[in-house]
Amino acid sequence: MSSKLQSISALRTLLDEKKASATELAHDALREAGQQSSLNAFVDIRDDLTLEQAKAADLRLASGEKGALLGIPTAHKDIFVTQGWTSTAGSKMLAGYQSPFDAEVVSRLNAAGTVSIGKLNCDEFAMGSSNEKSAYGPCLNPWDSLAVPGGSSGGSAVAVAAGVVPFTTGTDTGGSIRQPASLCGITGIKPTYGSCSRYGMIAYASSLDQAGPMAHSARDCALVLNAMVGFDAKDSTSVQRPVDQEDFTAGFGKALRNGDVAKPLAGVRVGLPAEFFGEGLAADVRAPIDAALKQLEAMGAMLVNISLPRTELSIPAYYVIAPAEASSNLSRFDGVRYGHRAADYTDLKSMYENSRSEGFGLEVQRRIMVGAYVLSHGYYDAYYLQAQKIRRLIAQDFQAAFQQCDFIAGPVSPTVAWNLGEKSADPVQMYLADIYTLSTSLAGLPGMSVPVGFGDKNRPVGMQLIGNYFKEGELLALADHYQLATDWHLRTPS
| Catalytic (active-site) positions | 77, 152, 176
Long-range contact pairs involving 313-316 (C-beta distance under 8 Å, separation at least 24): 313/390, 313/393, 313/394, 314/394, 314/435, 314/438, 314/439, 314/442, 315/431, 315/432, 315/434, 315/435, 315/438, 316/387, 316/390
Q: Measuring CA to CA, how many Å separate 151 from each of 53, 197, 307?
A: 28, 21, 27
Whole-angstrom distance, CA of residue 311 vs CA of residue 307: 9
Whole-angstrom distance, CA of residue 217 vs CA of residue 196: 20
